[in-house]
Amino acid sequence: MDVVSFARGIPGPDLLPSEEFGRCALAAARKDGARALNYGPPSGYPPLREWVAARHGVAPERVILTTGSLQGFNFVAREFVRRDATVFVEAPCYDRSLGILRSLGARTVAIPVGEDGIDVEGLAVALEATPGEKLVYTIPTFQNPSGHTLGRAGRERLLDAARATGAVVLEDDPYGLLRFEGESLPQLFELARGEDAIFLSSFSKTVSPGIRVGYVVLPQELVGAIERHVLENYVSPSIFVQAALAEFVHEGYFEPNLERAREGLRIRRDAMLAALEAEAPDGAAWNRPEGGYFLWLDLPDGVDAAALLERGNEAGVTFVKGSDFYLDGGGSNAARLAFSFATAEEIGVGVERLAGLVREAAGVAA
């Protein structure tokens, strides 16, 4: 039996611009091979850096292109741990970032995320109570893992609380451009006018994860410190891939590709919602994200996601158990479902299998 995977947050093959990127790779080697095929600046291929900087309305010096945005997170986290900062994270939170913080021995405070994003009042109280340097790590738009989004008022409040306590905000936003319905919201970085805010994003979800290009936009005063972390790690990132990506954006492929990704993701999200509506037993609850890759499934009382997952392979469906997204407890009764990879048809089959498992575990008749 083919296993339907709701586990990995990766794009389906139809969402990848193979043809277009292939053309751009060839053009990059032909047009600018002398630069593209050599070592380059540690902060990345200058024309792409300039394109990113222009999109965010900052000087190119404030942009560092990294080998995926998780690497940018790693550099920023390292710097703040070195400064003995307390790092505020969301609960649940992207598991790989949590893993990095854990391995760095970071001092962390977890703030719950609900239907409307991070609990900003709880965050404000926790910030007030914490002396010293502070970093607030948040994924405010189509959060990984929950799919939840912080509204406009919440964003303003979060920034007020950070400003009042001298905290730096680290906004991780790989999914913001993948909105397929509803009104788009300003980034925290935009609302803060780039002050005391760091913006992290990626081309993994807007172009391709295989190219491994992400970036971080920094306040000027942090640029030197983060560049030192870059230099401790490598000579330069993959300049050739960045040159091909520069060609991709300059040839006008970026927006049409985004449109294609949005449409493909909307179809998949709708398939997952329809299947859950039809199949999920009483007591299960889920959200309806307006973009991104994920939704969050709360299981009926007493159903343990880890036990369910153990039976998943046999039943032909996988997901990530909610507890993986918490630093110290929580989420045992929930699951992250990625709708980004499987086809709409496979999603229907996968949800049916999952619902069968949940019913069995909850002792509910079909």
Ligand X SMILES: Cc1ncc(COP(=O)(O)O)c(C=O)c1O
Using CB under 6 A as the binding rule, whether residue 139 contacts ligand X is answered as: yes
Q: What is the DSSP letter of 209?
A: S
Sign for the CA dihedral angle at 75, 81, 83, 85 comes to: positive
187 and 179 Cβ atoms separated by less than 8 Å: no
Given the structure tokens 């394109």, which residue do they identify? 51
Nearer to ligand X, 172 or 279 (CB): 172
* Structure token pair of residue 216: 């971080």
List 4, 7, 9, 347, residue binding ligand X (CB under 6 A): 9
Name the residue nearer to ligand X (CB basis): 145 or 194. 145
- Whose structure tokens read 């995977």? 5
Interaction residues for ligand X, span 154-173 (CB under 6 A): 172
Number of Cβ within 10 Å of residue 341's Cβ equals: 20
For residues 211 and 218, give the distance between their C-alpha atoms in angstroms, rounded to a whole number: 22
Site membership for ligand X, residue 206 (CB under 6 A): no
Q: Tell me, rounded to whole angstroms, the distance of Cα 244 from its chain centroid.
A: 23
Q: How far is the CB of 24 from ligand X (least distance, A)?
A: 19
Please identify, among the stretches 24-32, 62-70, 81-89, 229-237, the one whose residues bind ligand X according to the rule CB under 6 A: 62-70
Contact 154, 111 (CB under 8 A): no
146 in contact with ligand X (CB under 6 A): no
176 binds ligand X (CB under 6 A): no
Give the interface segment with ligand X, choosing from 24-32, 202-210, 270-278, 338-346 (CB under 6 A): 202-210
Tell me which stretch binds ligand X (CB under 6 A): 63-71, 126-134, 185-193, 259-267.
Answer: 63-71
Q: Give the DSSP letter string of 262-307.
A: HHHHHHHHHHHHHHHHHHPPTT-EE---SBSSEEEEEPPTT--HHH
Q: Which stretch binds ligand X (CB under 6 A): 64-72, 177-185, 251-259, 340-348?
A: 64-72
SS3 170: strand
* Interface characters, 93-112, with ligand X (x: CB under 6 A): -x------------------
Nearer to ligand X by Cβ, of 9 and 300: the residue is 9
Q: Tell whether residue 144 is a contact of ligand X (CB under 6 A).
A: yes
Choices 11-19, 82-90, 179-187, 201-209; region in contact with ligand X by CB under 6 A: 201-209
Q: Between residues 65 and 123, which has the closer beta carbon with respect to ligand X?
A: 65
Q: Which residues contact 314 (CB under 8 A, 6 or more apart)?
A: none
How near is the Cβ of 237 to ligand X at its closest, in Å? 12
How wide is the angle at C-alpha 64 spanned by C-alphas 137 and 326, nearest 5°? Answer: 20
Q: Binding to ligand X by residue 324, rule CB under 6 A?
A: no
Between CA 175 and CA 182, with CA 178 as vertex, the angle to 5 degrees is 115
40 binds ligand X (CB under 6 A): no
SS3 assignment, position 251: coil
Which residue among 70, 100, 170, 275 contacts ligand X (CB under 6 A)? 70
Binding part of the chain for ligand X, among 11-19, 45-53, 65-73, 261-269 by CB under 6 A, reads 65-73
Residue nearest to ligand X (CB): 68
**214 near ligand X (CB under 6 A):** yes
Q: Is 174 in the site for ligand X (CB under 6 A)?
A: yes
Residue 360, Cβ density class (10 Å: 0-12 exposed, 13-18 middle, ≥19 buried):
middle
Concatenated DSSP letters for 307-341? HHHHHHHHHTEE-EEGGGG-SSS--TTEEEEE-SS
Nearest to 141 by CA among 97, 95, 177: 177
Please give the residue ranges that form the binding site for ligand X (CB under 6 A).
9, 68-70, 94, 139, 144, 172, 174, 202, 204, 209, 214
